[in-house]
Amino acid sequence: MDSRAWARAGAVERGRSRRGTPGRRTRKDWSCSLIVASLVGAFGSSFLYGYNLSVVNAPAQYIKSFYNESWERRHGHPIDPDTLTLLWSVTVSIFAIGGLVGTLMVKLIGKVLGRKYTLLVNNGFAISAALLMACSLQAGVFEMLIVGRFIMGVDGGIALSALPMYLNEISPKEIRGSLGQVTAIFICIGVFTGQVLGLPELLGKESTWPYLFGVIAVPAFVQLVSLPFLPESPRYLLFEKHDQAGAEKAFQTFLGKEDVSREVEEVLTESCVQRNVQLVSVLELLRSPLVRWQVFTVVATMACYQLCGLNAIWFYTNSIFGKAGISPEKIPYITLSTGGIETLAAIFSGLVIERLGRRPLLMGGFGLMALFFGILTITLTLQDHAPWIPYLSIVCILAIIASFCSGPGGIPFILTGEFFQQSQRPAAFIIAGTVNWLSNFAVGLLFPFIQESLGTYCFLVFAAICLTGAVYFYFVLPETKNRTQAEISQAFAKRNKAYPPENTDSAASDTKVTRRPEPDPASTLDNYVKNGVI
């Protein structure tokens, strides 16, 4: 098949989508079951990821004292400062190592258990980690805290792959972006909650800091008792379990209506293309010419997501607030503004993503971050020249955080689910998650050296990364709003320079979907399976 035939097949699919999509039916798409599934799923998954990003900051000095006391009790002498620094670095960074391990486990667990039960089993990691970390002080074993952080990383790695897949597969394409942003919103809420509970008046005290980690068990338990009452992903039931009746029932529950023929038809059309195709491995996905630029774009978005410098912002926050004249005892309360800005910006993104689209939010977010990083570099360099300049630095920090959370903070997870077919999706999330966690680890490892070498000019490195990302998305990323996976693949086809080969053998006899007399793209695209293209 040449490029024109491929485009005609896409036109048929787009026409079918338009004919089956009444105007302005977005409100009807938000069923009660869909809302509950997204909230419960995110509360027990991405919320915990965000919470664990911020929860170690407040009790840092108490944890180091605990390490010193435990070491002295065992060895009879205080811990060496370099050893203490190493232990603390391991405590913080091992979360990313666990996340990488969890990401690599997702495909195997998801294939056996499905999306919903992967999230349920994942709660076991969170609860066991919470018990280990909460009891570490009483047991006097600091290794329990480190192991608990690693296990929570595993939980985060699984959650940030399984949850976006689940939300992507249960939502109508008309609200797929908004529902996908729930992941990012709850990451921000988790960060903010960790900041609030870490205040001295709550759990951020020497006697209560272990309870900061014990709180982790609460969201995990809520998800564990709530999610079983909701259906599995209908796409998983249809594609991998071949349970059409179960898939129809799941669609009816999530969409809140009896007639789900249009949704089932769309899934069956994709199913015809992927019939007899097993789950694609990571190596096969990397080698496939039909998704080459999709993979490049996922890698670029995830790398920019972690390397854009937001984590470095937290390093400077307290010192900038101090330079502005804020007393040290008030800084933790002022820092709450950063978590609040994160949450509000993520909610704003969820409200406008289906109107503005993914592409403008990504380009605009990274472009604004590059601009404010440049201004921040100037204000930090000149902060001793005038008393008002540190306050401008604070504004820049809040603007960078808002720019990140309004687009780049959640869209990478949405795009990973939208770019790939059902059989490719688990492998795609492994690639995305691997890049995410390795980049996270690299920032934590390398930033102190970058900061030491460049000083306040280190933010120019992040400005360059953000600007490069914005330019890449301008030239490469197509808009995926309200488009099927087949339409998104066609948008990448010209850049991939890999059109499915023409096959003169008819596939119509092999195709079960015969609901319409018009030419069905699935009957043509079924040839791709025979030729091993998918």
Q: At 316, is the pLDDT very low, low, confident or very high (cuts 50, 70, 90)? A: low
Task: Please say if the pLDDT value at position 78 is more than 80.
Answer: yes
346-388 residue pLDDT tens: 888 888 888 888 899 999 999 999 999 999 889 888 877 887 8
Q: At 10, is the pLDDT very low, low, confident or very high (cuts 50, 70, 90)? A: very low
pLDDT at position 388, please? 82
Q: Which residue has the higher pLDDT, 486 or 194?
A: 194
- Name the DSSP class of 281: P
pLDDT at position 29, please? 63
C-alpha 416/C-alpha 411 separation (Å) is 9
Average pLDDT over residues 187-200: 88
pLDDT at position 20, please? 43
pLDDT at position 271, please? 59
pLDDT at position 127, please? 95
Q: At 463, is the pLDDT very low, low, confident or very high (cuts 50, 70, 90)? A: very high
Look up residue 219 and give its amino acid: P
486-511 residue pLDDT tens: 788 888 888 887 654 443 333 333 33
Task: Please say if the pLDDT value at position 531 is more than 60.
Answer: no
Report whether 526 contacts 513 (CB < 8 A).
Answer: no
Residue indicated by tokens 């896409």:
10
Is 285 exposed, middle or buried, given 0-12, 13-18 or 19+ CB atoms closer than 10 A?
A: buried
pLDDT at position 518, please? 41
Residue indicated by tokens 């998983």:
236
C-alpha 486/C-alpha 319 separation (Å) is 50
Q: Which residue has the higher pLDDT, 190 or 178?
A: 190
Closest CA to 169 of 249, 242, 237: 237
Report whether 466 contacts 367 (CB < 8 A).
Answer: yes
C-alpha 40/C-alpha 241 separation (Å) is 24
The beta-strand segments (E) located in 298-350 are: none
Closest CA to 122 of 171, 161, 95, 180: 161
417-460 residue pLDDT tens: 888 887 788 888 889 988 988 888 887 777 777 777 887 788 89
Look up residue 307 and give its amino acid: L
The backbone region for 276, taken as left when phi is positive above 0, alpha when psi lies in -120 to 50, beta otherwise, is: left
Lowest mean pLDDT among 152-156, 447-451, 476-480, 513-517: 513-517
Domains defined for the chain, CATH in brackets = 30-230 (1.20.1250.20), 277-498 (1.20.1250.20)
Task: Tell me the two tokens of residue 495.
Answer: 């850049």
Number of Cβ within 10 Å of residue 139's Cβ equals 12
91-117 residue pLDDT tens: 888 888 899 899 888 888 888 888 899
Q: Which residue has the higher pLDDT, 518 or 271?
A: 271
pLDDT at position 225, please? 92
195-222 b/e (C-beta count within 10 Å ≥ 16 → b): bbbbeeeebbbeebbbbbbebbbebbeb
Task: Tell me the two tokens of residue 166.
Answer: 């689940």
pLDDT at position 21, please? 42
Number of Cβ within 10 Å of residue 378's Cβ equals 15
Look up residue 103 and give its amino acid: T
Report whether 165 contacts 117 (CB < 8 A).
Answer: no
Q: Which residue has the higher pLDDT, 326 or 67?
A: 67
pLDDT at position 506, please? 34
Look up residue 139 and give its amino acid: A
C-alpha 274/C-alpha 169 separation (Å) is 16
